[in-house]
């Protein structure tokens, strides 16, 4: 399997390339007042708003460093409505890919209810690498907040039914 590598702090993590739609440079993000701290906001991707999560904020409690290698990784995220949505993940040092067999990853022996997305680990010449499970990234209430369908006439805008 092909994985995109990135860092959170000094640790390395991997995303399954099959879950990735695109890797983008860090673009302007519209902040959403009173959103949870890990929600950086939304950005316009091909005419549609896409929510963005800062993985450093979610995992380490601090925003990602703004570097040339900091990227927005668009992933296919399963919504509670049965549909798949695009979700942007801000990650640091997303500069390389690596191939690993799923069997290369083993349970770390440590689990936490607050971070079920932290999956098994693999060892290579540079140390440990942890697999991030996109499907369990967000708790259901958090997920539903990001992907909730707007009410038809809340903003007085035409809906798909009337367009």
For the chain, the distance separating the N- and C-terminal CA atoms, rounded to the nearest angstrom, is 43
Residues in the chain where the model's pLDDT stays below 50: 158, 161-163
Look at residue 51 and tell me if it is in a domain: yes
Inside any domain, residue 158: no
Structural domain includes residue 132: yes
Residue 62, in any domain of the structure: yes
- pLDDT score recorded for residue 162: 39
Q: For residue 6, tell me if it sits in a domain.
A: yes
What is residue 161's predicted lDDT score, i.e. its pLDDT?
A: 45
User: Is 160 inside a domain boundary?
Assistant: no
For the chain, the domain total comes to 1
| pTM (two decimals) | 0.86
Contacts of 148 (CB under 8 A, 6+ apart): none
Query: DSSP letters along 61-126, please?
Result: SSPPP--TT-EEEEEEEE-TTS-EEEEEEEEEEEEEEEE--GGG-B--S---TT-TTEEEEEEETT
Residue 63 domain boundaries: 2-146
On the 0-12 / 13-18 / 19+ scale of CB atoms within 10 A, 112 is exposed
38 in a domain, yes or no?
A: yes
Let me know if residue 153 belongs to a domain: no
pLDDT of residue 122: 95
Smallest CA-to-CA distance from 91 within 144, 40, 135 is with: 40
Query: What pLDDT score does 113 carry?
Result: 80
CATH number for the domain spanning 69: value is 2.40.50.180
């Amino acid at each position: 399997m092909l994985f995109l590598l990135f860092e959170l702090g000094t640790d390395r993590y991997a995303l399954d390339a099959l879950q990735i739609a695109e890797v983008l440079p860090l673009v302007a993000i519209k902040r959403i007042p009173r959103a949870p701290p890990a929600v950086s906001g939304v950005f316009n991707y091909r005419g549609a708003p896409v929510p963005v999560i800062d993985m450093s904020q979610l995992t380490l409690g601090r925003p990602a460093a703004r570097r040339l290698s900091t990227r927005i990784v668009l992933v296919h995220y399963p919504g509670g409505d049965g549909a798949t949505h695009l979700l942007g993940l801000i990650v640091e040092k997303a500069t390389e890919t690596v191939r690993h067999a799923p069997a290369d990853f083993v349970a770390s022996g440590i689990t936490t209810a607050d971070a079920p997305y932290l999956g098994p680990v693999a060892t290579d010449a540079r140390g440990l690498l942890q697999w991030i499970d996109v499907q369990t990234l967000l708790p259901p209430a958090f997920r539903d907040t990001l992907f909730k369908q707007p009410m038809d006439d809340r903003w007085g805008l035409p809906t798909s039914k009337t367009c």
